[in-house]
Chains A and B, each alone.
Chain A
Amino acid sequence: MTTTRRDLLRFAGGAAFGAFLTPAPWRLITDTALWSENWPGIPRPARGEIRTKFTHCSLCPAGCAVRARCVGQQPVALAGVFGGLCPFGVTAHHLPYHPARLRQGPVKEAAAAVAAAIAKCGPRERVAVLDLRPGRTASWTYRRAMAGVRNGTYIAPAQPPVSVNLANARTVLSLGAPLLDGWCSPANAFAARDRFRLIQAEPVESRTASLADTWLPIRTGSEQALALSLAGALDTRDAAERTGLAERQIVDLARELKENGPALVIDCRMSQNVVALNVDLGSWGRTIVPRPEAPVPAAWKTAAPPAELAAVPDGSIRVLLIDESAPGEYLPWNEIQKKLVSGNPLVVAFACSREGYGQHAQFVLPAAAFPEVTDDLPAAVDAVAPGFRLATPLIPAPDGLVNPVDFVAGVAGLAAPDALRQRADAIHASGKGKLVTYADGKSAAVKEVKADEFWKALNAGACWTGDAAQPGRAPGRDFSPAAEAAVPALTAVAAELAIADSPLMSKVYQESNLRLGPDRVAMHPRSARECGVEDGAKATLETSAGQRRVEVMIDSGICPGVVLVAARPGFEPGQAKVVRI
């Protein structure tokens, strides 16, 4: 028998056909998939011992307790201790790796420039520190440093003079405050939510408005007029005209607040009129109480008092040091600029990125980001008792960063080592309150804990809670008149963007339209028609902050005449113009 070429071809064809009936090709597909899954371009998660650490989130003043799941020393997931966290808190462990993160800066040059500028300061010129989150131990160090500098001024945004007790409220009227979206600790707000009726008054159907029992769509900037009307300090007809509500609605609202008490009225900053209205409603000591503060060492009491920016004379600041490392309320740059001397002022910002005040500063020095930072958190607006909590680092800060407290203390020649420890010792020495340890959920009276153990526990993520103060005498019933400004044809209102957030927040900005992303604006269809733009159109937005290119989104939940702008903190509402490109 001879083997022909035809036999060979038959054999090869048969073998190829037969191979398809074996597992080999299917196995090859799976193996190819497995190989490609592990190619060098795909990162491999690190492995190691799983540990749990506790700390407090320092991204906003709420200071939520955080449980970190770590692989070795590296946090890989963050969760809340008393409930969930906001999306910024959940992804906070990514911040050190943000592409816009500052890692190096001209520290020596900045120090030399500050020293030279201070030496040149005229008799009426000031050296000032702007602290976006007052009430911290770092704030006290700034105040002490400024007390030691000629014409030193410590500037901080106005803080709410009172705390709110949501647990006691049966009716809550929110005048534009995002109560359920970051105004206070989410755990507190949602724990109390089922017990109160929420009425939200604002021109945009915000997240809080969408969850409110009643949404009162009022005109932009008419919140104070509504507060005055409810207190009887403004005629109802006048208030109805300014807010766009019916007179009947305002009368019914006033009656509900009185009859379904204890009532609580809030706005973003707990303004004087709102506090006075609460006092008027009999809420003092029930739903609002004086703002508590943790004890400080007696020697610190000689520190410079906080000043509001408006109280600083125009054209008087020669050197301005801005601590942006602990984000808080941003003051509009236009207002800050007015206070700087006209000739060659020096502005130094301590920040994690250049997105904030760094855009206007001569020097931007890199500061530690959460969770590399060691800082304490002042009492949140919904804390009725004083507290002391530390944001302790979960990972070490890289080399090259600057501690703004050390920098400012160095400028003033102030020796302030271990200020946090000094404050913890002062709190311990007061012997008041209790220490709550998150790891085991136990609490102990401070009197029963030694000073070293107290400090150690705080660094391991524990929290000191003091005794709630007696409300004392209620503040006077002083109302300031609401300014009646002309309403522009189109008003820009900010939907705030964080200065720095995790790259994963692109899930909510870019891969879904859940939050208004950067360079986007939202308008009512009628306003869009008047501006000649439609959904998805490219346009230019002109506001007091300048001109920029945006994409228009149509949203019929927005009051006509309002354009919702995704803006960095510090954006001031005001006249706007949208022009189609």
Chain B
Amino acid sequence: MKRYGMSIDVDRCNGCGACMVACAVENNIPPAHQGANDRKGITWIRVYRVDNGEDFPDRRSAFVPVLCQQCGEHTPCASVCPQQAVDVDPATGIVGQMPERCLGCRYCMAACPYHARYFNWWDPAWPAGMEKTLNPDVALRMRGVVEKCNFCHGRWHAAKQRAAAAGKKDIDPADYVPACVDACPTGAIRFGDLNDSATAVAEDARKPESFRLLEKLHTDPKIYYRSKKDWVKEIASAPRPGARKESLRG
């Protein structure tokens, strides 16, 4: 049994946004509609800029990429979906979304504590000719359904097919890497099987500076962040509003 997860080195992320656009390219997410903004846009992975709340010249910022945290237990979105459009694959641990089952009620969006789910407010549209660049491995989603990161499931299927063609039972770990990991120029994002203690991502998860978002909710996320800055870790645990002066935008 695999348990795919990710580790993100916040101290290495420069907030360039390559992961955001690489994700959009891979998963056929259309460019922003004219009326889209930070609430209505679709970014399966979104880089938030957070800061220590101090004023110039003591202000320090960090960039935190936030995607579906792939909760392991009591997955909030799966438990509220009336359509069983969300499921956790026991073979990989990936929380999948089936847009063709989705009714668009957005219960899952309300339930997700990480704001990592996005609703299609508009029909997907690309500038003339650009639809030629769509990825044939990923189906398009229509207006009125919710979507989210699925660790580039299209790539997982392709890797499975390649492994089957080669007569192998398991996929080659190097053969299955999500688009954001592939694109990150700083090498801040790593991906692998958390159940295999020899993988880099499992090693990262064990590091003392490693943390997960909102651990107090016990959703057992499979995204591990790392930072040596205490104020970054404090933001990740979302202290009581007003307890500190943190601010974030993204």
Contact = CB atoms under 8 A, between A and B. Distances in A.
Bound pair (A, B)? yes
Interface of A: 29-30, 33-34, 36-37, 39, 41-48, 71, 74-80, 83-87, 89-91, 93-94, 96-99, 180-181, 186-187, 190, 193, 205, 207-208, 210-211, 215, 217, 502-508, 510-515, 524-525, 556-560
A190 B16 CA distance: 13
A80 B185 contact: yes
Contact of B20 (A75, A80, A514): A514
A87 B18 contact: yes
B132 interface: yes
B100 A34 contact: yes
Nearest to A42: B140
Contact of A45 (B16, B22, B56, B136): B136
Contacts of B59: 205, 556-557
A45 B28 CA distance: 9
B43 A512 contact: yes
A503 B41 CA distance: 14
B159 to A, nearest CB: 13
A208 B15 CA distance: 10
Contact of A181 (B14, B46, B128): B14
Contacts of B46: 512, 514
Contacts of B195: none
Contact of A85 (B18, B37, B56, B133): B18
A86 B185 contact: yes
Given A79-B182, A85-B185, A508 B38 contact: no
Given A71-B136, A85-B18, A560-B56, A37 B186 contact: no
B61 A84 contact: no
B49 interface: yes
Contact of A76 (B42, B101, B133, B187): B133
Which 7 A-B pairs give the minimum distances between C-beta atoms?
A511-B41, A506-B32, A84-B185, A503-B31, A508-B17, A43-B131, A45-B134
A210 B31 CA distance: 28
Contacts of B25: 76-78, 90-91, 504
Contacts of A37: 99-100, 139-142
Given A76-B133, A556-B56, A90 B14 contact: no
Chain B's interface size range is 35 or more
Nearest to B123: A41
Given A77-B25, A180-B14, A557-B56, A507 B250 contact: no
23 contacts: A36-B142, A37-B139, A43-B131, A47-B136, A76-B135, A89-B18, A91-B21, A180-B14, A205-B56, A208-B14, A210-B14, A210-B15, A210-B61, A211-B11, A217-B56, A507-B29, A507-B41, A507-B43, A511-B38, A512-B17, A512-B250, A514-B49, A556-B51
A504 B183 contact: no
B140 A511 contact: no
Interface of B is mostly: loop
Given A513-B249, A559-B56, A93 B133 contact: yes
Greatest chain A CB density within 10 A among B17, B21, B99, B138 is at B21
A512 B124 CA distance: 18
Interface of A is mostly: mixed
Contacts of B131: 43, 45
Nearest to A503: B31
Contacts of A79: 22, 182-183
A180 B186 contact: yes
Given A76-B135, A76-B136, A560-B56, A181 B186 contact: no
Nearest to B180: A84
Nearest to A562: B56
A505 B21 contact: yes
Contacts of A558: 56
Nearest to A560: B56
B38 A513 contact: yes
Contacts of A96: 129
Interface in B93-123: 99-103, 123
Contacts of B29: 504, 507
B165 interface: no
Contacts of B38: 511-513
Interface string B28-48: 110110001110111100111
A98 B22 CA distance: 17
A74 B130 CA distance: 11
A513 B250 contact: yes
B32 A42 contact: no
Contacts of A180: 14, 186
